[in-house]
Amino acid sequence: MTENIRINNPNVKYTDTHIEAQYCYHTTAVRRDGDTLTVTPSVSELEFRTERHVPRLGVMLVGWGGNNGTTVTAAVLANRLGLTWRTKTGEQKANYYGSLFQSSTVCLGEGPDGKEVNIPFRDLLPMMHPNDIVFDGWDISSMDLGSAMERAEVLDWSLQEKLRPHMSHLRPRASIYIPEFIAANQAGRADNVLKGTMAEQVEQIRADIQDFRHSSGVDKVIVLWTANTERFCDLTAGVNDTAKNLLAAIQSGGEVSPSTLFAVASILEGCAYINGSPQNTFVPGAIELAVERNVFIAGDDFKSGQTKIKSVLVDFLISAGIKPTSIVSYNHLGNNDGMNLSAPQQFRSKEISKSNVVDDMVNSNPILYHNGEKPDHCVVIKYVPYVGDSKRAMDEYTSEIMMGGTNTIAMHNTCEDSLLASPIILDLVLLTELCQRVCVRPQGSETFQSFHSVLAILSFMCKAPLVPPGAPLVNAYFRQRACIENIMRACLGLPPQNHMHLEHKLQRGFLPRHDNRIYDNVTLIADIHTNLTNICSNDTVGRTSI
Amino acid sequence: MTENIRINNPNVKYTDTHIEAQYCYHTSAVRRDGDTLTVTPSVSELEFRTERRVPRLGVMLVGWGGNNGTTVTAAVLANRLGLTWRTKTGEQKANYYGSLFQSSTVCLGPGPDGKEVNIPFRDLLPMVHPNDIVFDGWDISSMDLGSAMERAEVLDWSLQEKLRPHMSCLRPRASIYIPEFIAANQVGRADNILKGTMAEQVEQIRADIQDFRHSSGVEKVIVLWTANTERFCDLTAGVNDTAKNLLAAIQSGGEVSPSTLFAVASILEGCAYINGSPQNTFVPGAIELAVERNVFIAGDDFKSGQTKIKSVLVDFLISAGIKPTSIVSYNHLGNNDGMNLSAPQQFRSKEISKSNVVDDMVNSNPILYRKGEKPDHCVVIKYVPYVGDSKRAMDEYTSEIMMGGTNTIAMHNTCEDSLLASPIILDLVLLTELCQRVCVRPQGSETFQSFHSVLAILSFMCKAPLVPPGAPLVNAYFRQRACIENIMRACLGLPPQNHMHLEHKLQRGFLPRHDNRIYDNVATKMVLSTGYHASQQNGVCAHSIIIFSID
């Protein structure tokens, strides 16, 4: 990746290997005394260091032969090959629409003409291009990816014809199949399953990861679960409560779900593991293992369709002072995900994942909701084979407006489930890979530290975000997006987006003329070092004067 | 208003009359050389000064007897009186749901238990409480507000019964009626209209404002147009292109719309003027007059329903990398606004106002849209008397997703138009009033300056925001909201919301323990006078010092 953004500021240093940025991180602490809230702002000086070299990335998908697995693989191939194909309305080009990094933009500032300069999100920092990802994976169905793409009924036929030669020789590795965790109706697909004890199966998965790494020549592997939704796993002391007990349970053959087995194998191989389904893969023992081994884990459940819009609309309503009182969501779909979810235990996992998405927004507004009050919230999912991958989501939002008035929004949303999920899979692995190259050193600390093993910055792409203990859970779409943008800006020493446009709001302008003097690396090195301690002196001033 | 937020920071000073905050404002300049973009961050040091005393506010509504006018007046009365009323589902209390300031919250930061502390938006700075607003206004219909409330068919009957004694004594002043600007079907309502020349009518409006100010004892008056949508006014050199020509045209009786006449009268009285309808009230001459007189103007057209959701959904889709390709919006409504809009010229004003709402979001994404490309966008409004004030908006958003896929969102939205617009009217006047008490002094400048006369911070509440020349037009809902929140935070010396939660995202925490030592005003007075000014030079915005050291 070539970097095409250059920050012209002595607080940002480009070495051969890293971008090093001095950053002032602002927080506030609030204390309540009776009716008065005392707000104490403070500033932490942080140094962000981002590795510039982008590695060759391999991604291993669990459920590679499913609709998401085949679609994301096909999309990357089609983009890499620059394919075009005829549809009845004209020629279609391969693209990555729906990907935060590939197809959305961020504003960098104003150009000399006073207009905002917007760049692709992916250009903010050196990131993998999805075209360069090497895919591999496992599936309980042995079907090759060409045939599996046909079975998925997602991509245009004329595109499938062009892709088949590239897809047919891709065959999923044998996967772990424990029938009790997924719906009984999946038995017919399970012709490609590992044998042996649980421990032996985990060893095989580890061997697969090693084999892929060596045979493909990738520098780094990330493993992502896009297979069937499993039922929830019982949390049992002595079985999955600690890393040690979990590893012991695998040896003795206790209750451990396939997704947790994959997570454990990945973590032991030092590979980040992302859970794209709703089940509780990350039992406490799995989280502890990831923390111990300094490996990233993230999840749960791709936020692609109905829940994504819900995390926009409910945030909008509550942030406008309108009170949602009832949210009813009906879904029907006819792909294999729908078939699996038609079993009660698997549906239950999905229901839990979808149910908490409005909690953070509701809790943020004590004017509209008294303590403990929540809107009614109901989720129904039905399996309707005919609609295939073209999922329907029908939502009704009823809200209370001023003086007892009612606002009713009914919404009908149709789209190819896998075409929305695939770009999110790409965003998840690309952001994870980037986070592996970022570290932070707080002032006064000797050493750099990495992000927490529970990679909460991926919340944006997840229906039920996993966050470190004590961390706030944010589901609100635009807050989640701002989080990613502002952390990536911090890696460049750029302050958070403020959206204020103050320079256009006062009677007279106050900015210097468009100023783009290039900061001269050589002459300023001395100044930087003398000034570093002053960067966040906002705070220093406050504290020393106390 | 009692302030219940206290900022514990030596950069923020509370005097008897003002909150004075030192603030570092960050911007970036971007230069393109071939494929490389060079980003130069810079910091401006600003001093925000906010008057703490909240004045007695009077609001004069043009179209006071309409659905919005009666509903907002009734809502304020019901809230002030603490009214409750029975409905078939139980007892209902008066409230201000749908008001940004009264019913939404902002996050101040984590409390000692680590949980986010959210406070009502209105508590960030001293603001007028809507219960304390005194209303007055004009209407071309002479109906008293009690009867007009009944005509509106908006509020529950049992609430109307309780309010009628308080509303019936309110009578709109005679208004300006120039038939050609609104639909012919409005003629039946026009029984309360000013006579005389255009100039005389403007004088009467000015006299009304003065009369209201004196008789009610309010210290400040804001005038807001919530009357009929007018047809667009021709922009004609010599008539409305400059302040001087506009004033002359009023004297000679040229083409000046009633809404522009009200705007001119307000500006000449030094009263902020807000346009809640779509027409081009603010012809260049009116804007120039406002700038000359240092009076705030803002508009256009309340963003209350369909357009508000559109400015959320389209922003969401484009910000997620999804490409909206067709947006079709059907509306039907049966109130007087709908009847007036059934005339082609008035509908045209509305259509223009609604049409540009997605432009900023489309232009922000050159990956999805090549230069000049836009989604198809179609807006239909029909008058269907039966549905009354209960407006229906039916939208279809078709978007292109990955690999030629299609996402179709169809939406049906029902609500009482006036119950959504009324809290927005309150937000508009309360924020305008607050802005009149805020001023800013950039470092190096001797004097404080006020906001620009074209009060762009009100964009959040407007379908077609009016902004100063050269300023970016933002329609995206969450960006507009962040703008208000961050400017109000700046008045308290608080940096923008960053949503990063970095202290929870690293392997180890780095924040000091919950630190709430109270900054001691007395003990540090000396430090402030000796050390603080020095800190303004090289402390508060040390970033900028580094930049200065470049050359």
What's the rounded mean pLDDT across residues A273-299? 97
Nearest CA in chain B to A27: B109
**Cross-chain CB nearest to B518 (options A38, A308, A470):** A38
Weakest mean pLDDT among A186-195, B495-504, B537-546:
B537-546
Q: Could you give the percent of chain A with pLDDT greater than 70?
A: 93
Per-residue model confidence (pLDDT) at position B511 = 83
Catalytic residue among A162, A220, A310, A463: A463
Bridge partners (DSSP) listed for residue B309:
none
Q: Given pLDDT bands bounded at 50, 70 and 90, which one contains residue A60? A: very high
Q: Given pLDDT bands bounded at 50, 70 and 90, which one contains residue A296? A: very high
Identify the H or E element spanning B346: helix B344-355
Identify the H or E element spanning A66: none
Alpha carbon A172 to its chain's center: 24
What the block records as the tokens of B355 is: 């049409």
Q: Does B81 touch chain A (CB under 8 A)?
A: no
Give the integer Cα–Cα distance in Å for B151 and B206: 29
CB distance A504–B543 less than 8 Å? Answer: no
Residue matched to tokens 């039922």: A231
What the block records as the tokens of A170 is: 């891709």
- Would you tell me how many other CB atoms lie within 10 Å of the CB of residue A323? 22
Contacts with B, A 329-348, CB within 8 Å = none
Q: Does A81 touch chain B (CB under 8 A)?
A: no
Which residues from chain A sit within 8 angstroms of residue B426, using beta carbons? Answer: none
Q: Is B473 exposed, middle or buried (0-12, 13-18, 19+ CB in 10 A)?
A: middle
Are B296 and A506 in contact by the 8 Å Cβ rule? The answer is no
- Would you tell me how many other CB atoms lie within 10 Å of the CB of residue B172? 26
B234: helix, coil or strand? Answer: coil
- Would you tell me how many other CB atoms lie within 10 Å of the CB of residue B535? 23
Selected residue of A9, A11, A22, A30 to mutate for chain B interface (largest B Cβ count, 10 A): A30
Identity of residue B466: L
Give the A:B interface size as CB pairs under 8 Å: 543
Q: Does B372 touch chain A (CB under 8 A)?
A: no
b/e map A231-258, b = 16+ CB within 10 Å: bbbeeeeebbbbbebbbebbeeeeebbb
CB distance A39–B108 less than 8 Å? Answer: yes
Is B391 a catalytic site residue?
yes
Are B31 and A516 in contact by the 8 Å Cβ rule? The answer is yes
Is A382 a catalytic site residue?
no
Identify the H or E element spanning A215: helix A198-216
Q: Does A46 touch chain B (CB under 8 A)?
A: yes
Supply angle C-alpha B445, B449, B454, rounded to 5.
Answer: 140
Give the integer Cα–Cα distance in Å for B322 and B402: 8
Query: Phi and psi (nearest 5°) for A433?
Result: -60, -45
Q: Does A410 touch chain B (CB under 8 A)?
A: yes
Per-residue model confidence (pLDDT) at position B544 = 29
Alpha carbon A301 to its chain's center: 9
CB distance B402–A423 less than 8 Å? Answer: yes
Give the integer Cα–Cα distance in Å for B488 and A252: 60
**Cross-chain CB nearest to B9 (options A41, A468, A483):** A41
**In the predicted model, is pLDDT for residue A35 greater than 90?**
no
Which residues lie below 8 Å from residue A23, measured CB to CB, with a gap of 6+? A11, A45, A46, A47, A48, A490, A493
CB distance B40–A9 less than 8 Å? Answer: yes
**Cross-chain CB nearest to A504 (options B36, B312, B471):** B471
- Measure in Å the smallest separation between the Cα of A490 and chain B Cα atoms: 10
Q: Does B398 touch chain A (CB under 8 A)?
A: no
Bridge partners (DSSP) listed for residue A440:
A48, A449
Catalytic residue among B310, B350, B360, B395: B350
Per-residue model confidence (pLDDT) at position B530 = 29
DSSP string, B34-81: TTEEEEEEEEEEEEEEEE-PPPPEEEEEETTTSHHHHHHHHHHHHHHT
Which residues from chain B sit within 8 angstroms of residue A303, using beta carbons? Answer: none
pLDDT, tens only, B74-121: 999 999 999 999 999 999 999 999 999 999 999 999 998 888 999 999
Which residues from chain A sit within 8 angstroms of residue B472, using beta carbons? Answer: 115-116, 501, 504
Bridge partners (DSSP) listed for residue B454:
B297
CB distance A319–B114 less than 8 Å? Answer: no
Give the integer Cα–Cα distance in Å for A83 and A301: 30
Which residues lie below 8 Å from residue A249, measured CB to CB, with a gap of 6+? A239, A240, A255, A256, A285
What's the rounded mean pLDDT across residues B504-523? 65
| pLDDT, greater one: A2 or B290 | B290
pLDDT, tens only, B298-340: 999 999 988 999 999 999 999 999 999 999 999 999 999 999 9
On average, the pLDDT of chain A sits at 92
Nearest CA in chain B to A400: B97
Q: Does B284 touch chain A (CB under 8 A)?
A: no
**In the predicted model, is pLDDT for residue B540 greater than 50?**
no
Composition of chain A by helix, strand, coil, percent to 5: 40, 25, 35
Give the integer Cα–Cα distance in Å for A159 and A171: 20
Contacts with B, A 148-207, CB within 8 Å = 155-156, 159
DSSP string, B82-107: T-EEEETTEEEE---TT-HHHH-EEE
Going by C-alpha positions, the residue among A276, A271, A336 that lies closest to residue A140 is A336
Going by C-alpha positions, the residue among B207, B239, B512 that lies closest to residue A445 is B512
Going by C-alpha positions, the residue among A534, A8, A24 that lies closest to residue B537 is A534
Q: Are strands A220-225 and A57-62 parallel, antiparallel or unpaired?
A: parallel
What's the rounded mean pLDDT across residues A246-273? 97
**In the predicted model, is pLDDT for residue B21 greater than 80?**
yes
**In the predicted model, is pLDDT for residue B353 greater than 90?**
no
Give the integer Cα–Cα distance in Å for B141 and B192: 5
- Measure in Å the smallest separation between the Cα of B278 and chain A Cα atoms: 22
Q: Could you give the percent of chain A with pLDDT greater than 90?
A: 86
Are A323 and A374 in contact by the 8 Å Cβ rule? The answer is no
Residue matched to tokens 């060409």: A146
Nearest CA in chain A to B111: A30
Which residues from chain B sit within 8 angstroms of residue A504, using beta carbons? Answer: 452, 456, 467-468, 470-472
Bridge partners (DSSP) listed for residue B406:
B400
Which residues from chain B sit within 8 angstroms of residue A306, using beta carbons? Answer: none
pLDDT, tens only, A109-126: 999 888 899 999 999 999
Is A350 a catalytic site residue?
yes
CB distance B412–A415 less than 8 Å? Answer: no
**In the predicted model, is pLDDT for residue B520 greater than 90?**
no
**In the predicted model, is pLDDT for residue A545 greater than 70?**
no
**In the predicted model, is pLDDT for residue B29 greater than 50?**
yes
CA terminus-to-terminus distance, chain B = 48
Which residues from chain A sit within 8 angstroms of residue B420, using beta carbons? Answer: 401-402, 405, 407
Give the integer Cα–Cα distance in Å for A298 and A427: 12
- Measure in Å the smallest separation between the Cα of B35 and chain A Cα atoms: 6
Give the integer Cα–Cα distance in Å for B117 and B99: 20
Which residues from chain B sit within 8 angstroms of residue A30, using beta carbons? Answer: 108-111, 117
Instruction: Report the half-sphere exposure of A383 (CA within 13 A, side-chain side).
Output: 14
b/e map B287-305, b = 16+ CB within 10 Å: bbbbbeeebbbbbbbbbbb
Per-residue model confidence (pLDDT) at position A524 = 38
On average, the pLDDT of chain B sits at 91
Identity of residue B134: V
Identify the H or E element spanning B198: helix B198-216
Q: Does B499 touch chain A (CB under 8 A)?
A: yes
Which residues from chain B sit within 8 angstroms of residue A409, using beta carbons? Answer: 309, 411-414
CB distance B364–A420 less than 8 Å? Answer: no
Q: Does A376 touch chain B (CB under 8 A)?
A: no
**In the predicted model, is pLDDT for residue B525 greater than 50?**
no
Q: Given pLDDT bands bounded at 50, 70 and 90, which one contains residue A543? A: very low
Identify the H or E element spanning B362: helix B359-363
Per-residue model confidence (pLDDT) at position A526 = 35
Per-residue model confidence (pLDDT) at position A509 = 84
Q: Given pLDDT bands bounded at 50, 70 and 90, which one contains residue A4? A: confident
Per-residue model confidence (pLDDT) at position A536 = 56
Distances (CA, A) of B462 to A310, A318, B103, B427, B469: 24, 19, 18, 11, 17
Q: Given pLDDT bands bounded at 50, 70 and 90, which one contains residue A540? A: very low
Alpha carbon B45 to its chain's center: 27
DSSP string, B372-411: T---EEEEEEEE-GGGTTEEEEEEEEEEE-GGG-EEEEEE
b/e map B103-137, b = 16+ CB within 10 Å: bbbbbbbbbeeeebbbbbbbbbbbbbbbeebbbbb
Q: Does A530 touch chain B (CB under 8 A)?
A: no
Which residues from chain A sit within 8 angstroms of residue B457, using beta carbons? Answer: 505
Q: Does B522 touch chain A (CB under 8 A)?
A: no
Is B463 a catalytic site residue?
yes
How far is it between the farthest Cα atoms of chain B?
Answer: 76
Per-residue model confidence (pLDDT) at position B513 = 65
Q: Given pLDDT bands bounded at 50, 70 and 90, which one contains residue A514? A: low
Give the integer Cα–Cα distance in Å for A236 and A258: 17
What's the rounded mean pLDDT across residues A340-357? 88
Which residues lie below 8 Å from residue B398, measured CB to CB, with a gap of 6+? B324, B325, B326, B327, B406, B407, B408, B409
Instruction: State the ipTM, two decimals.
Output: 0.92
**In the predicted model, is pLDDT for residue A31 greater than 60?**
yes
Alpha-carbon Rg for chain A in angstroms? 25
Give the integer Cα–Cα distance in Å for A13 and A22: 9
DSSP string, A140-188: SS---HHHHHHHHT-S-HHHHHHHHHHHTT--PEEB---GGGS-GGGGG
Nearest CA in chain A to B40: A8
Identify the H or E element spanning B482: helix B477-490
Selected residue of B31, B123, B163, B402 to mutate for chain A interface (largest A Cβ count, 10 A): B402
Give the integer Cα–Cα distance in Å for A308 and A326: 17
Q: Given pLDDT bands bounded at 50, 70 and 90, which one contains residue B2? A: low
Weakest mean pLDDT among A135-149, B59-73, B100-114:
B100-114
CB distance B402–A408 less than 8 Å? Answer: no
